Amino acid sequence: MSSAEKKSKRSGAEMSGDTCTLHTDGIPPDTLSKVQVYLERFHLSLEKLQEVSARLRKDLVRGLGKHSHHRAPVKMLPTFVRATPDGTEKGDFLALDLGGTNFRVLHVRVVEEQQRVLKMDSQICAIPKEMMLGPGEQLFDHIAACLNDFLVSQELKGQTLPLGFTFSFPCEQKEIDKSILIRWTKGFNCSGVEGKDVVKLLKEAIHRRGDYDIGSVAMVNDTVGTMMSCGYRDQSCEIGMIIGTGTNACYMEEMKNVRRVEGEDGRMCINTEWGGFGDDGSLKDIQTEFDVVVDETSINPGVHTFEKMISGMYLGEIVRLLLVRLTEDKLLFKGQTSEALLTPEAFQTKFISEIEEQDDGLENTQNILTKLGLNWDLVDSCVVRLVCDAVSSRSARLCGAALATLANRIRVNRRLDRLKTTVGVDGTVYRKHPTFSEELRATVRLLVPECDITFLVSEDGSGKGAAMVTAVAQRLAHQSRLLEESDGEEEEEEEEEEGQ
């Protein structure tokens, strides 16, 4: 079956509100019916997706509330990004992207005439394992040293350039240049950083060196960077979404609804942290026994419930647990597992994308099963493809339901009968899986037909997007200064007239 035929078949199933299971050819009816008992929990009806969307809608409001946000599973963090690009931004910027065992330093140039964001050059710096667990001061000294090396290599030493800082850990942002680390994740546990302002720690490390300086700093969540990097190309981009190792989204909310920040006018980008959706138990009815095991054996049990059902860090493990259970029930591999199949995280999420490829999927499946030390036959290959399809399909549809909630909130906020907007999107699951993006888009169309959504894949949101956040912040600050000067001149003129 071709990719187009598969999408068409899926869309037809969605019109009836049920998911369509594929790859059933070659599976005997008796085996198929027994396998489907395990997979039916992954097949979410239209009605169930509407329920999930309604629950998220309530959580968005709780997260925005002045007094309710402390207890909200969806944190709805203000980013202090108050506008999207308008196309007049320009200049040279540095970007610093810290979110894993490596970090990047970039030199980015924004060209107004061409409305382009150019990555001039970049450098990747490793963070040794021991540094990820050592004193925070040591980590920031290392970052400052790498930033110095980059400035020297680019002959930028002596210039004081603004910097966009993408710091992909849970933070509470107080201002555009003040962000408090809530907790370390992704294997980091540096002492003396949690509860502190990471911008201040970076500036202190640069000051300790004393041989260069940086200009204004804008803190950027990677989701916001995704939205902003697309926003320069398409100024109707007001949602950013990432579906990769983890998942998250941001969107432009009306200031009057952001109760935690003073001010009623305009809009502000909200970092939803929607990975935490369901942490209060609201998704228990759609969690499977396999989701529960994935959560209980993770490094953060009870946290990021939604993320664990849909993101790349966990999808492979959900499939592995399913395959183990089906093997134990003698529905796969003649009941014989292998050491690899019984090893947690041995079934990588990228295997799902390879298995679901239209042209080479069956051959890929068989190669992967051989690598995992399994004795397979043709029926086994088809069942494994069916399992992968069920897990990835649920991921796409849940993500679509969450995105539909954000789009509809923007539409309702603005009292529009119809909303046209663009979503900037990034992440390996969205980019690499052969049908994920199409199924996500089909789900959104089904749930919010009043919203016309264009999807734009981000070009380096954590680099170019960070520069764009900095550029927009500079533009707004410049406009604010001009307004203040204008007001001051008017006041002087009025005083002179009164004196006469």
For 43-107, the DSSP string reads ---HHHHHHHHHHHHHHHHHHHSTTTGGG-SS--EE--------S---EEEEEEEESSSEEEEEE
Q: Is 380 a catalytic residue?
A: no
* Main-chain dihedrals φ then ψ at residue 437, nearest 5 degrees: -65, -40
Exposure string (b/e) for 105-120, b if CB count within 10 Å is 16 or more?
A: bbbbebeeeeeebeee
Tokens of 17: 């509100």
> What single letter denotes the amino acid at residue 470?
T
Place of tokens 């990471």: 198
Half-sphere exposure for 137 (CA within 13 Å, toward CB):
4
The kind and range of the H/E element at 406 are helix 378-413
Tell me which amino acid residue 75 is.
Answer: K
Amino acid making up residue 100: G
Phi/psi at 185 (5° precision): -140, -175
CA pseudo-torsion sign 38, 40, 286, 452 = positive
> Which amino acid is present at 429?
V
Cα-Cα-Cα-Cα torsion 465, 466, 469, 474, nearest 10 degrees, comes to -130
Question: Contact 462/117 with Cβ under 8 angstroms?
Answer: no
Options 186, 200, 350, 432, the catalytic residue? 186
Task: Report the chain's terminal Cα–Cα distance, integer Å.
Answer: 86
| Alpha-carbon span 152 to 232, nearest angstrom | 29
Chain centre to alpha carbon of residue 106: 21
Q: How many degrees, rounded to 5, is the angle at CA 78 between CA 76 and CA 83?
A: 120
The reply to whether 186 belongs to the active site is yes
Task: Find the Cα–Cα–Cα–Cα dihedral 437, 443, 445, 451, rounded to 10°.
Answer: -90
Number of H helices, E strands in the chain: 16, 13
Element (H, E) at 305: helix 305-310
Q: Tell me the C-alpha distance between 370 and 351, whole Å.
A: 13
- Work out the burial of residue 126: count CB atoms within 10 Å of its CB; fewer than 13 is exposed, 13-18 middle, 19 or more buried: exposed
Q: H-type helices in 329-377, by residue range?
A: 349-355, 361-371
| Residues 6+ positions from 163 with CB-CB distance below 8 Å | 93, 94, 95, 96, 214, 215, 216, 217, 218, 470
Selecting among 222, 295, 380, 460, the annotated active-site residue is 222
Task: Report the catalytic residues.
Answer: 186, 222
